């Protein structure tokens, strides 16, 4: 079957030939049994993983040499889209010959990269990147079964998006690898924020430890510092004098906030700046004019001001209205 028949329409050009080939002809599809493990003098491991957000499921089979921890053979069974099948097939292949600990370090980005035809061209459309996340998760589950430990002990990073099971590391890598500048792009590449949206910014129905707006601001600041090291000040913003902090914040407010608020008859004044023990800088603000007492100013305007100050001044800033 041709790639354009397999995927259909104008989308087919966004998939690599490797992805299309493994959709049609997965190399490692099938089950392994105790009899297979006995022939290879290894231990059979069977792990299941599913993605509630899209309904895909996968079952991973390993035969592991218990003396060396090396995975002698790996196969899979899957119910899901073609992209998930291709990603899981590549993931299983990447496990073979590695120790269990080495396999546990394989990420969904490693899988996607292995499926590329060209080094700098993504193997799948941005909206299908989440299909490789399940392959990453099932490796962790297989590792936990082999090690007889709770899977939570193997977590290398926090989950940012529970709906799509996207980790903090995945979001950070997606921003860096693809030079993303907007939250919407993060969603396209990882599916984080595509469902309940609680992980996008504070104010959703479920409180999160990490929000996409904060991650994006922090990583973009890191990228900017790396690209323009000559612009980096030797001192961290939180270590600057209060006078210098206020000067920088006032400049940003004048250029990026006050003109926008003035158009609606509102305003904002800087009341105080305090540096907390954890290095975050608390900016105490007071609304004026139409902003004062406005329900939208509690969340919407504050979020806008805080994001702007993080972008223009420091990612350590946390806005507080007084």
> Which active-site residues does the annotation give?
54, 131
Confirm if 60 and 74 have CB atoms less than 8 A apart: yes
Q: Tell me the C-alpha distance between 233 and 287, whole Å.
A: 31
Sheet holding 43-50, edge to edge: 43-50, 57-65, 70-79
* CB atoms closer than 10 angstroms to residue 292: 12
**CA quadruple 226, 228, 230, 232: dihedral sign:** negative
Tell me if residue 33 falls in helix, strand or coil: coil
Name the token pair of 29: 């599809």
Contact call for residues 205 and 198 (beta carbons, < 8 A) = yes
Burial class (CB in 10 A: 0-12, 13-18, 19+), 89: buried
E strand or H helix at 212, and its extent? helix 212-227
Sign (positive or negative) of CA dihedral 220, 223, 228, 230: positive
């Amino acid at each position: 079957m041709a790639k354009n028949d397999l995927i259909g329409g104008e989308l087919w050009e966004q998939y690599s030939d490797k992805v299309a080939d493994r959709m049609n002809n997965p190399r490692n599809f099938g089950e392994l049994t105790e009899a297979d493990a006995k022939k290879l003098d290894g231990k059979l491991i069977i792990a299941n993983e599913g993605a509630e957000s899209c309904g895909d499921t996968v079952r991973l089979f390993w035969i592991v040499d218990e003396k060396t921890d090396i995975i002698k053979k790996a196969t899979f069974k899957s119910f899901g889209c073609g992209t998930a099948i291709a990603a899981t097939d590549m993931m299983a292949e990447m496990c073979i010959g590695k120790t269990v600990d080495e396999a546990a370090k394989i990420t969904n980005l490693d899988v996607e990269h292995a499926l590329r035809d060209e080094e700098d061209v993504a193997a799948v459309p941005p909206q299908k990147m989440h299909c490789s996340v399940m392959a990453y998760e099932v490796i962790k589950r297989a590792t936990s079964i082999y090690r007889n430990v709770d899977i939570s002990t193997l977590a290398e990073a926090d989950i940012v998006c529970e709906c799509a099971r996207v980790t903090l590391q995945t979001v950070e890598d997606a921003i860096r690898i693809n030079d993303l500048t907007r939250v919407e792009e993060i969603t396209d590449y990882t599916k984080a924020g595509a469902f309940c949206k609680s992980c996008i910014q504070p104010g959703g129905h479920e409180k999160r430890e990490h929000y996409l707006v904060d991650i994006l601001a922090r990583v973009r600041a890191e990228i900017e510092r790396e690209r323009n090291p000559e612009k980096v000040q030797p001192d961290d913003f939180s270590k600057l004098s209060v006078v210098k902090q206020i000067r920088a914040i006032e400049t940003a407010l004048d250029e990026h906030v006050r003109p926008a608020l003035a158009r609606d008859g509102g305003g904002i004044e800087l009341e105080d700046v305090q540096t907390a023990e954890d290095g975050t800088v608390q900016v105490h603000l007071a609304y004026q004019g139409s902003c004062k007492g406005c329900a939208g100013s509690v969340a919407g305007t504050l979020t806008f001001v805080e994001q702007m100050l993080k972008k223009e001044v420091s990612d350590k800033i946390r806005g507080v209205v007084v």
